[in-house]
Amino acid sequence: MKEKDDGLCRAVVVHEETVQKVKREMSTEDTYYDMAEFFHVFDDATRLKIIDALLVSEMCVCDLSAAIGMSQSAISHHLKVLRQARVIRLRRQGKMAYYSLCDGHIRSIFQQGQTHVEE
C-alpha cells in the first residue's frame, strides 16, 4: 500500500540557527496586517478590471463605467476601496475627476500576478 505524503517531517528536529535567522529577517505584525489589507483589494474581479483599464490610461468614472460595463455607482464604490488602499489616485480638472494608478509598484504587482496565472 502506498503511503500518503502529508508533507510533515518524519522526525521533529528544530534547526535553531535557521529559525533565529528567519525570525530576525521577518517583518513586523503591523506590516503583515497592512500587507493583508493591501492585497485584499486584489481579490475582486471588478477592481482588477479597473486596475487593468488604468494600466492603459487615466480615466474618469464615466469612461470606466462604459469600458467595464457596470454602473457608475458600482464603479465609484470600487474606486473608493482602491483609493483607500493607495492603489489609485484622483485628479480633479474642473468638473471632471480622473483616476490613475498611484505608482509603478501597482503596475508591477498586477502584471506579475497576471503572468503567474497565465503560465
Per-residue exposure over 18-39, b if at least 16 CB sit within 10 Å of its own CB, e if not: eeeeeeeeeeeeeeeeeeeeee
Q: How does pLDDT run across 28-69, given as a tens digit for each residue?
A: 999 999 999 999 999 999 999 999 999 999 999 999 999 999
Can you say how many angstroms the Cα of residue 99 is from the centroid of all Cα atoms in its chain? 17
pTM higher than 0.95 for the full model?
Answer: no
> Regarding the domain delimited by 45-118, which CATH topology (the fold level of the hierarchy) does it fall under?
Arc Repressor Mutant, subunit A (1.10.10)
Average pLDDT, the chain: 94
